Amino acid sequence: MAVTQTFQRLKPPKREKILATAIHEFARHGFRQASLNRMARMSGIAKGSLFQYFGTKEGLFRFIFDHAVELIRHNLRRVKAETADQDFFERIRSSLLAGVAFIRQHPHIYQIYLKMLFQEDFPFREEFLEKIHLFSAEYLTPLVEKGMAEGDLRPDLDVDLVVFTLDAVMDRFLQAYCVPFLDGNAAVFQAPPQRVEKQVGDLVELLRSGLGARSGGTRLAMNE
Amino acid sequence: MAVTQTFQRLKPPKREKILATAIHEFARHGFRQASLNRMARMSGIAKGSLFQYFGTKEGLFRFIFDHAVELIRHNLRRVKAETADQDFFERIRSSLLAGVAFIRQHPHIYQIYLKMLFQEDFPFREEFLEKIHLFSAEYLTPLVEKGMAEGDLRPDLDVDLVVFTLDAVMDRFLQAYCVPFLDGNAAVFQAPPQRVEKQVGDLVELLRSGLGARSGGTRLAMNE
Amino acid sequence: MAVTQTFQRLKPPKREKILATAIHEFARHGFRQASLNRMARMSGIAKGSLFQYFGTKEGLFRFIFDHAVELIRHNLRRVKAETADQDFFERIRSSLLAGVAFIRQHPHIYQIYLKMLFQEDFPFREEFLEKIHLFSAEYLTPLVEKGMAEGDLRPDLDVDLVVFTLDAVMDRFLQAYCVPFLDGNAAVFQAPPQRVEKQVGDLVELLRSGLGARSGGTRLAMNE
Amino acid sequence: MAVTQTFQRLKPPKREKILATAIHEFARHGFRQASLNRMARMSGIAKGSLFQYFGTKEGLFRFIFDHAVELIRHNLRRVKAETADQDFFERIRSSLLAGVAFIRQHPHIYQIYLKMLFQEDFPFREEFLEKIHLFSAEYLTPLVEKGMAEGDLRPDLDVDLVVFTLDAVMDRFLQAYCVPFLDGNAAVFQAPPQRVEKQVGDLVELLRSGLGARSGGTRLAMNE
DNA sequence: AATGAATGAGAGTTCATTCAT
DNA sequence: GATGAATGAACTCTCATTCAT
């Protein structure tokens, strides 16, 4: 167990304060460079207590990590359920908007995610990489399969390749759209809402014209 | 100048040894966590000498950085020139293969690149981000424009959106394909050559069917 | 605050030991050349602890500095009060003797004072120089003014010039008398007490004969 | 010998350059904190050469030191000779003005002098202190003795006490007047010439009224 | 259970000095 | 004789972790 009962039994405000401070610190500095000294100072908690609760720095990070995974998993499930009756490209649009909303709400967690992606000396990196494959494996794949079954997608496409491509494009869109709003210091994320609708819309239209069943830019052109 | 003449005048084997050790160290640990102590120990020189050569840790990194930028820029130019007469999608295929080859040859540089992408406290990160926009701005954009002018691409596409999509897909392909071969410790990159050809081929075919002039749309139109 | 509560809460013997060692070190070597390594070794504590207590080398020096300023200020006030009813030249004599006694009791602080006077790269040097002007401004000036008002001094004298001269002579006397007893290494200050009385006496008599009311100036004025 | 013949045989411009740079460096940073690296860089001379010429850092300082002592001694002798026919207080005035002129011409040497006064870890400090007693012993004492013999000074004065007082006052005057003009960085010494005449004049008048033959002392003597 | 003082290894950096060229 | 590359000790400072209170 990465965290003691002692911590779980703390009064919620204190627990939240510690959690928030730790997430903030790891988001700003990554794992190795994060300082327990700073965390203790900023959360007003004794340094020794942190060790009592989490054993080691790694134990604390483990706790944050699990917490974040849970948040994300829960979010994906919710979006999946709420969009079950939409057409394929609508679901993609909704997923992207949900992604932006999530990052807007939890910017620090997204920063930790970005850091973990390529920072090899994070602990659990292997496990982390496996877990984010959830997105493709558990989220996108069924979506694409359903989309093909229901005729929203061109029937000649390879499912895995489509999943790969969508994953790449969507992930990169989130990065391209959100990173500029992540303040280097804190988590100030305020993107103008009208712009994101437009940009997501354009991207989804491109995907639809390339992958959609009734697609084919030329034909549309000829029709006009 | 980030490096002294002293370093440039060293005997090549020694110079290479120091360079290789430094690249290795930065690739494994990022900037902040990289240790000049380790570098000195591993390259068999005195710690003080590193400072004589590069002034500061940042100076050393700057040197590695410029070296890498030069390597990449040179590579891109070469590929561009060598593929000038190919059709658009052939060029994309060649670019991807060249990318894989480059990473295979310089795995540590690729690791540093990946770390710099999201590790906020790298020095020169701003400059770095500007420089990798070269890829889109100076490399992909002209390619796409020429592809559209010569009728390889559907004429209804927005150039910027296509560039964004290609950038995302190609970058993610390189990550997806190459990262598993990057040993956490060192730079052991040995991917079976026949597989990369196949995978690049499949990806390019998907792009062609989605974005190519004679792609799905027309055929679907004929079907009706 | 230049020093943490941590330090203030230490058991007095340990606190004194650290303080004494630090004063000793700064007295011997000045600021830049003083070594926290040595201090830690000599006071038998860990190097890290010094930083826990004082934050930086400068913080430690700041603490010593404030401590010394307080000592000196307190001493001056005490002497001023205790000699309030004496005639001007008696007060000067008492001040000099008090100065010698102070240096005898706190030789290291006097050494630090001397170093700060002309060692330009001490921290707080500006502040320090301002503070020692206290001596002239807050201590000597009122003394001289009272001395003139009460007819102890020749009425034709310029107050500022007298203050300047007294400051110079007294300061130089303390240097000339005390420096030979300051061991280069440690703080061995043992001047034969009977000699200091004699020397101070002689000096004050010279001052009296030059500046005293019944001396030359007035008579010359009358002669003209 | 503190300096090799090699150095003495250098072409004068090079020799001067090295000397000037070294004086500048020791003036700015004192002995320990002065950096041979910087000296080598600023004088355009190889670091190794400095060691060839002077053996050690201390050897170099020794050379500067002797050079400075020679300059000062020469200056004192010149002033003494040039003022041989003046009255005592005129000579004091001339000496002060000559002191200001010397510092104006060699500000760096004066800075080194000030640093050596109280910086205990200068090499040769003992020897240095002995040598500056030259001023009192070889310069002031004969002046005072002659002044008394010729009736410029009150006959009741103790020669040593007068020498001590003059030494203190004159030294302190030079410090008080010149230090503000010594730029912390370089040696920019530009004091308005008309002011120094006035200030020296006032100080000398005070001395004359206190110590001069036609002042108080005689009358007191007559009173007895 | 909570604290925070103590620690020591390791970080980047500077520098006088040596010595092969 | 002149050079400047090489060195390693010492510097200030940080930090995760331990442990007595």
DSSP-assigned letters across all residues of C148-201 = HHTTSB-TTS-HHHHHHHHHHHHHHHHHHHHGGGS-SSS------HHHHHHHHH
Q: How far apart are CA B206 and CA B215, in angstroms?
A: 10
**Of B161-165, C130-134, D199-203, which range is least confident?**
C130-134
The string of pLDDT tens digits covering residues B134-166 is: 777 889 999 999 999 999 998 988 898 889 888
Asked if A191 has any chain B CB less than 8 Å from its own CB, the reply is no
Distance (Å) from the alpha carbon of A131 to chain B's nearest alpha carbon: 15
Residue A176 near residue B164 (C-beta atoms within 8 A): yes
pLDDT of residue A219: 36
Q: How far apart are CA A107 and CA A177, in angstroms?
A: 13
Q: What is the CATH number of the domain that holds C106?
A: 1.10.357.10
Q: How far apart are CA B95 and CA B89, in angstroms?
A: 10
**pLDDT, average across residues D72-82:** 93
Q: Does any domain span residue C15?
A: no
At residue A214 the predicted structure's pLDDT band, cuts being 50, 70 and 90, is low
Q: Pick from B28, B111, B154: which is nearest to A217 by CB? A: B154
Asked if B188 has any chain A CB less than 8 Å from its own CB, the reply is no
Spatial neighbors of A157 by CB under 8 A, at least 6 apart, are A148, A211, B206, B209
The string of pLDDT tens digits covering residues B13-52 is: 999 999 999 999 999 888 998 999 999 999 999 999 999 9
Q: Does any domain span residue A221?
A: no
The residues in B 4-33 lying below 8 A from A, measured between CB atoms, are: 28-30, 32-33
**Of B8-17, C119-128, C133-142, D5-14, which range is least confident?**
C119-128
At residue C90 the predicted structure's pLDDT band, cuts being 50, 70 and 90, is very high
Give me the long-range contacts of D124-132 (CB less than 8 A, separation at least 24).
D124/D61, D124/D62, D124/D65, D128/D65, D131/D69
Protein-covered nucleotides of chain F (CB closer than 7 Å) are 1-20
Q: Does any domain span residue B112?
A: yes
At residue C218 the predicted structure's pLDDT band, cuts being 50, 70 and 90, is very low
**Of A137-146, C2-11, C186-195, D30-39, which range is least confident?**
C186-195
Residue C152 has which token pair?
């102890």
Q: Is the pLDDT of residue D169 over 90?
A: no
Share of chain C above pLDDT 90, in %: 45
CB–CB of B121 and A216 under 8 A? no
Q: Does any domain span residue A220?
A: no
CB–CB of D28 and C120 under 8 A? yes
Q: Which nucleotide lies at the shortest CA–C1' distance from D11?
A: F1
Pick from B77, B75, B71: nearest CA to B98? B75
pLDDT of residue D210: 80
**pLDDT, average across residues D196-213:** 85
Q: Is the pLDDT of residue A176 over 80?
A: no
The string of pLDDT tens digits covering residues A40-93 is: 888 888 988 999 999 889 899 999 988 988 898 899 999 999 999 999 999 999
The string of pLDDT tens digits covering residues B202-213 is: 889 888 888 887
Please tell me which residue of chain B has the smallest CA distance to A204: B161
> Do chains B and D have 3 or more beta-carbon pairs under 8 angstroms?
no
**Of C138-142, C167-171, D51-55, which range is least confident?**
C167-171
Domain around A162: 5-212
Q: How far apart are CA A56 and CA A70, in angstroms?
A: 21
Q: How far apart are CA D109 and CA D179, in angstroms?
A: 12
Share of chain D above pLDDT 70, in %: 87
Q: Does any domain span residue C32?
A: no
At residue D59 the predicted structure's pLDDT band, cuts being 50, 70 and 90, is very high
Concatenating the DSSP letter of every residue in B16-70 gives HHHHHHHHHHHHHHHHHH--HHHHHHHHTS-HHHHHHHHSSHHHHHHHHHHHHHH
At residue A221 the predicted structure's pLDDT band, cuts being 50, 70 and 90, is very low
**pLDDT, average across residues B54-80:** 93
- Domains identified in chain C, total number: 1
CB count in 10 Å sphere of residue B75: 16
Residues 57-116 in A having a C-beta less than 7 A from any atom of strand F are 57-58
Q: What is the DSSP letter of A185?
A: S
Asked if D191 has any chain C CB less than 8 Å from its own CB, the reply is no
At residue D78 the predicted structure's pLDDT band, cuts being 50, 70 and 90, is very high
Protein-covered nucleotides of chain E (CB closer than 7 Å) are 1-20
Share of chain C above pLDDT 70, in %: 87
Q: How far apart are CA A3 and CA B49, in angstroms?
A: 45
pLDDT of residue B90: 96
The string of pLDDT tens digits covering residues D95-153 is: 999 999 999 899 999 988 887 876 667 778 778 878 877 777 789 999 999 999 999 99
Q: Is the pLDDT of residue C20 over 90?
A: yes
pLDDT of residue A223: 37
Pick from C118, C172, C166: nearest CA to D168? C172
**pLDDT, average across residues A206-212:** 84
The answer to whether the beta carbon of residue C216 comes closer than 7 angstroms to any atom of strand F is: no
> Do chains B and A have 3 or more beta-carbon pairs under 8 angstroms?
yes
Distance (Å) from the alpha carbon of C79 to chain D's nearest alpha carbon: 24
Please tell me which residue of chain B has the smallest CA distance to A161: B203
Q: Does any domain span residue C20?
A: no
Residue matched to tokens 């307190």: C74
Instruction: Give the CA-to-C1' distance from C124 to E10 in angstroms.
Output: 31
Q: Which nucleotide lies at the shortest CA–C1' distance from A11?
A: E1
Give phi and psi for B212, each to the nearest 5.
Answer: -70, 155
CB–CB of C169 and D171 under 8 A? no
Q: Pick from C120, C165, C219: which is nearest to D216 by CB? A: C219
Q: Is the pLDDT of residue B68 over 70?
A: yes
| Buried-state track B28-66, b at ≥16 Cβ within 10 A, e below 16 | bbbbebbebeebbebbebeeebbbebbbebebbbbbbbe
Q: Is the pLDDT of residue C220 over 60?
A: no
Asked if C203 has any chain D CB less than 8 Å from its own CB, the reply is yes
pLDDT of residue D130: 80
Residue D160 near residue D137 (C-beta atoms within 8 A): no
CB–CB of D173 and C171 under 8 A? no
CB–CB of A158 and B202 under 8 A? yes
Residue D190 near residue D181 (C-beta atoms within 8 A): yes
Higher pLDDT, A52 or D191: A52
Q: Is the pLDDT of residue B221 over 70?
A: no
CA dist B49 → B53, B95, B175, D195 (Å)? 6, 40, 36, 54
User: First CA to last CA across chain A, in angstroms?
Assistant: 65
The residues in D 103-162 lying below 8 A from C, measured between CB atoms, are: 114-115, 117-121, 154, 156-158, 161-162
Q: Does any domain span residue B9?
A: no
Which run of H or E residues covers position D34?
none
Higher pLDDT, B72 or C175: B72
Q: How far apart are CA B28 and CA B20, in angstroms?
A: 12
At residue B217 the predicted structure's pLDDT band, cuts being 50, 70 and 90, is very low
Asked if B38 has any chain A CB less than 8 Å from its own CB, the reply is no
pLDDT of residue C88: 95
Classify residue C44 as left (phi > 0), alpha (psi -120 to 50) or beta: left
- Residue B189: CA count within 13 A, CB half-sphere: 18
User: How many residues appear in chain A?
Assistant: 224
The answer to whether the beta carbon of residue C48 comes closer than 7 angstroms to any atom of strand F is: yes
Asked if D216 has any chain C CB less than 8 Å from its own CB, the reply is yes
Q: Is the pLDDT of residue B54 over 50?
A: yes
The answer to whether the beta carbon of residue B17 comes closer than 7 angstroms to any atom of strand F is: no
pLDDT of residue C186: 40
Q: Does any domain span residue C40?
A: no
Spatial neighbors of C194 by CB under 8 A, at least 6 apart, are none
Q: Is the pLDDT of residue A2 over 90?
A: no
CB–CB of D118 and C121 under 8 A? no
The answer to whether the beta carbon of residue A41 comes closer than 7 angstroms to any atom of strand F is: no
- B171 interaction partners in chain A (CB closer than 8 Å): 168, 172
Residue C148 has which token pair?
């003139």
The residues in A 62-91 lying below 8 A from B, measured between CB atoms, are: none
Q: Which nucleotide lies at the shortest CA–C1' distance from C48?
A: E7
Q: What is the DSSP letter of A186?
A: S
pLDDT of residue C111: 87
The string of pLDDT tens digits covering residues A116-174 is: 876 667 777 778 877 877 777 789 999 999 999 999 998 888 898 889 888 888 888 88
